[in-house]
Amino acid sequence: MTISIILWFLAILLAPFFAAVILKVKAFFGGKKGPPILIHYYTIIKLFQKGSVYSTSTTLIFKLGPVISLCAAAMALMFLPLAGYRPVLSFHGDVIFIIYLLGLGRFFTIAAAMDTASPFEGMGAAREAYYSIICEATLFMILILFFMLTGDLSLAAYLSGSLPLGLWQTAGSPLLFVIIALFIVLLAENARVPVDDPATHLELTMIHEVMVLDHSGPDFGFVELGSFCKLFFYSAVVSRLIAPFNPDHPALNGCQFIAALLVVYAVVGVTESVMARYKMDKVPKFILTSFALAFFAIIVTLEFLK
């Protein structure tokens, strides 16, 4: 139990570090040196030292938004079995709870955005809501597949324990499509290229940044940390599916886990570097492809199970 709590704290602490890996990979592709690897820590510390500015047209919801999004992401991490150890919390059906938890965080972010009564933030909120609907369809398809394969509804059962799912098991080849679908959902939910550009400066083209445009100081720090945690969550799930091994030695286990995570983050960085951001009307088609892949994986698995 204590190990799980320590790992949880470590995860929250390391999330900004991994996010900076993406920046380094992008800089490498651009022939630049890039920001220092601890840039996000500096940013968060800087933000916490500032004061917040609240607009007079906002209410309590505006103050709640960042806090709840951070708490939701952090709590989702509690259910994640890190490096194969038991997670802090786990019960039957917790996967659905996690999906709705993340949805809660998203809801409050959107509510905070709309609370500012700014048209830009409303626009970003509308887009964010639209894309996450399709992502949820994919996530539930993947959930159905996992349920069919293991008969269990808890994240711990999928990613740790005696029979973890993984690419290299016997029914593994359909999982390749699941991994790709999950990766596409990762890109969509965490506002990565090709769905959304995290480095764009134009309000008209933002989706995620425009929603949090009016937050400042510690609030913005919470928002940033929350987004790092959410990215860590998705990446951990994908990396666990790629490398479900459980070596006995704890150091080896930890190294393998971190290595797999680094691979996933690096792939995100590569994707951001080689792809351009899609036109707005192509994004639903992109996410629908992930839904089609998940559905296809279900059908192929059904065929194999017969």
Q: Which residues bind another protein (CB under 8 A)?
A: 173-174, 177, 284-285, 288-289, 292-293, 295-296, 299-300, 302-304, 306
Q: Which is nearer to another protein, 48 or 304 (CB)?
A: 304
Could you tell me the smallest distance in angstroms from the CB atom of residue 299 to another protein?
Answer: 5
Q: Which is nearer to another protein, 180 or 258 (CB)?
A: 180
Could you tell me the smallest distance in angstroms from the CB atom of residue 162 to another protein?
Answer: 23
If one counts every other C-beta atom within 10 angstroms of the C-beta of residue 153, the result is 17
Could you tell me the smallest distance in angstroms from the CB atom of residue 91 to another protein?
Answer: 33
Q: Which is nearer to another protein, 141 or 159 (CB)?
A: 141
The amino acid at 114 = M
Q: Which is nearer to another protein, 89 or 292 (CB)?
A: 292
Tokens of 80: 């994640």
Q: Which residues contact 146 (CB under 8 A, 6 or more apart)?
A: 95, 158, 165
Could you tell me the smallest distance in angstroms from the CB atom of residue 149 to another protein?
Answer: 16
Distances from the Cα of 4 to the Cα of 8, 86, 87, 236, 262, angstroms: 6, 6, 6, 15, 21
Could you tell me the smallest distance in angstroms from the CB atom of residue 96 to another protein?
Answer: 23
Helices (H) and strands (E) in the chain, counts: 11, 0
**In angstroms, rounded to a whole number, what is the distance separating the alpha carbons of residues 28 and 22?**
10
Q: Which is nearer to another protein, 104 or 288 (CB)?
A: 288
Could you tell me the smallest distance in angstroms from the CB atom of residue 164 to another protein?
Answer: 20
**In angstroms, rounded to a whole number, what is the distance separating the alpha carbons of residues 220 and 44?**
8
Could you tell me the smallest distance in angstroms from the CB atom of residue 238 to another protein?
Answer: 19
Q: Which is nearer to another protein, 114 or 182 (CB)?
A: 182
**In angstroms, rounded to a whole number, what is the distance separating the alpha carbons of residues 151 and 158?**
10
Q: Which is nearer to another protein, 147 or 304 (CB)?
A: 304
Running DSSP on this structure, what letter comes out for residue 234?
A: H
Distances from the Cα of 5 to the Cα of 68, 75, 170, 191, 278, angstroms: 20, 12, 33, 28, 40
Tokens of 58: 């906002």
